[in-house]
Amino acid sequence: MSIFGPKIKVRFAPSPTGFLHIGGLRTALYNYLFAKKNKGSFILRIEDTDSKRKVEGGVENIINTLHSCELNYDEGPILNQKLKVKSQKSKIKEKGNNGSYIQSERLPIYKHYVERLIEKGTAYYCFCSAEKLEEEKKKQQAEKLPTKYGGHCIKNTKEDAEKRIKNGEKYVIRLKIPENGSTEFEDEVYGKISIKNEFIDHQVLLKSDGFPTYHLANVVDDHLMGVTHVIRGEEWLPSTPKHILLYEALGWPLPKFAHLPLLLNPDKSKLSKRQGDVAVEDYLKKGYLPEALINFVALLGWNPKGDQEIYTLKEFIRYFDLKSINKSGAVLNKEKLDWMNGEYIKAKPIKELTELCVPYLKDAGLVTKKTDKKLIEKIIKIEQGRIKTLQEITEGVEFFFKKPDYVAELLIWKKSDKKETKTILTTLLKFLETLPKGKFEEEKLEKETQRWLKKENINTGDALWPMRTALSGQKASPSPFELAWALGKAEALQRIKDAIKKL
């Protein structure tokens, strides 16, 4: 049992209207952390009652993204990996005893509870046309009044409504809001909130197509699935009084509510795709590591005390506290994400990092199945401290895989000239040829070469600049010793010979 009493149960309930938003990932993460800290359960539920906005493959994307980020839920839809099937329904199975976890498969349940509300007189049929409602809205806006339904159908008797339905009139079912008083609740983040009932709209519960609205489906499902804490985005805060009135109308106990602050662009506007990536999949495709993304979004609006910035998921579970979440919006700082991702890349074992980078190298046409795996691993090791995303591994490494093309002038260091550069490179080549392969490891090669330069009284820049350029063909590149180690003795010596010919 947790400090909150009976077993904690939370849910993440996204809509399959596209790819999972970075804000959605944070909501899922906070639900997960809260459940795990309190030894509770975490549910995934799919809100697909708005069929017009539903995107093909959206459910699978949500499931795969949560799996990639290791946010494993206790109940909800899962992919049926064993079967090769065409229809979405057969691709998805479920775990848990409260299914279905897909709202479009629960329509009879919502209808049952709407009928109960009608019987109790806490909901009513509304036959107002879209045109009438739009006219009413414009009038209210012109008079600078809150836009809400005027209650024109609230006095219709059940008998009269049934006759109109029998005659084929279209209708929706609305929640009857008390005329007087206020609706109050204690939010775990924002504290005590009170709204006068006169400002609360008579919310549509069941649409004319027979599908429930978000408000009805969420309240019914949260109750039936035993959800104790509703942790969701701040955008749902104005709807909470409607949900509380619906709970009360159905005679159900209230869960606790916690609303999370908005995610903002650097200019403090609401996070949107117009100003950059917002889909988790976009970040993953660019080579942001799931564990870095989790670390980053966890700190958007909440922070454990102290200066630490890199945390494991287990540490987040230990420290997480709803009461410590900030009320103000959290700015998404991409530079911070890049830094954090770079730190995670640096900490990766080289073999694991190589496996993660190879697909990007293949997509860039830099490697094939025949490419020397040891060469790839050496390149990854050299670049590991530089790259901020896996995608960046393709930048400036082409010369490792094929001989570079460059002009002879690039080989010349500062005040030197062609003749002197050629002489020094020739002398350097003879020295390198005398070294055994074992000395071509980065540190050993540097030590031996520096000792030789000192002995021969050759300026470091005059020798190492043309050596590095001969190996890379670039103005800027890793050190000549890293390059020689990665390329191997034979290839390194051949490239120096090619450079001498250019001169």
Contacts of residue 309, defined as CB under 8 A and 6 or more positions apart, other chains included, come to 295, 299, 340
- pLDDT tens profile 164-200: 999 999 999 999 999 899 999 999 999 999 999 999 9
Mean pLDDT calculated for residue range 12-39: 95
Report which DSSP code applies to 213: P
How far is Cα 489 from Cα 438, in angstroms, rounded to an integer?
Answer: 9
Q: Which residues pair with 175 in a beta bridge?
A: 123
CATH architecture of 408-502: Orthogonal Bundle (1.10)
**Same fold flag, 9-104+263-331 and 106-260:** yes
Flag whether pLDDT at 84 surpasses 50: no
- pLDDT tens profile 299-309: 999 999 888 99
Asked whether the CA dihedral 87, 92, 98, 104 is positive or negative, the reply is negative
**Residue 501 is among the residues annotated as catalytic for this protein:** no
Flag whether pLDDT at 4 surpasses 50: no
Task: Say if residues 464 and 482 touch (Cβ distance below 8 Å).
Answer: no
CATH for the 348-401 domain, from 3.60.15.10, 1.10.8.70, 3.40.50.150, 2.40.37.10: 1.10.8.70
Task: Say if residues 393 and 387 touch (Cβ distance below 8 Å).
Answer: yes
Task: Say if residues 76 and 227 touch (Cβ distance below 8 Å).
Answer: no
Superfamily of domain 9-104+263-331 in CATH is: HUPs (3.40.50.620)
Flag whether pLDDT at 62 surpasses 50: yes
User: What confidence score (pLDDT) does residue 17 get?
Assistant: 84
- pLDDT tens profile 468-500: 999 999 999 999 999 999 999 999 999 999 999
Rounded to two decimals, the pTM is 0.91
- pLDDT tens profile 133-156: 999 999 999 998 888 998 899 988
Cα–Cα distances in angstroms (integers) from residue 402 to residues 153, 252, 342, 367, in the given order: 77, 70, 27, 10
User: What confidence score (pLDDT) does residue 275 get?
Assistant: 58
DSSP letters, 136-201, are: HHHHHHHTT-------TTTT--HHHHHHHHHTT---EEEEPPPSSSEEEEEETTTEEEEEEGGGS-
The third-level CATH classification (topology) of the domain covering 106-260 is Rossmann fold (3.40.50)
Task: Say if residues 45 and 221 touch (Cβ distance below 8 Å).
Answer: yes
User: What confidence score (pLDDT) does residue 305 get?
Assistant: 84
Contacts of residue 185, defined as CB under 8 A and 6 or more positions apart, other chains included, come to 192, 193, 240, 241, 244, 254, 257
Flag whether pLDDT at 221 surpasses 80: yes
Helical (H) or strand (E) element with 378: helix 373-383
How far is Cα 281 from Cα 288, in angstroms, rounded to an integer?
Answer: 10
- pLDDT tens profile 426-467: 999 999 999 998 899 999 999 999 999 999 999 999 999 999
φ/ψ of residue 234, rounded to 5: -60, -25
Pairwise pLDDT comparison (22 vs 278), residue with the higher score: 22
Residue 364 C-alpha from the chain's centroid = 24
Instruction: Report domain extents, the chain.
Output: 9-104+263-331, 106-260, 348-401, 408-502
Task: Say if residues 311 and 304 touch (Cβ distance below 8 Å).
Answer: yes
How far is Cα 287 from Cα 283, in angstroms, rounded to an integer?
Answer: 7
How far is Cα 104 from Cα 90, in angstroms, rounded to an integer?
Answer: 15
Single out the residue of 50, 99, 47 nearest to residue 77, CA to CA: 99
Task: Say if residues 222 and 98 touch (Cβ distance below 8 Å).
Answer: no
User: What confidence score (pLDDT) does residue 86 get?
Assistant: 47
Q: What 3-state class would DSSP assign to 270?
A: strand
Q: For residue 147, count other CB atoms closer than 10 A to its CB.
A: 12
How far is Cα 400 from Cα 487, in angstroms, rounded to an integer?
Answer: 7
Flag whether pLDDT at 243 surpasses 90: yes
Q: Which of 132, 270, 273, 346 is catalytic?
A: 273
Question: What mean pLDDT is reported for the chain?
Answer: 92
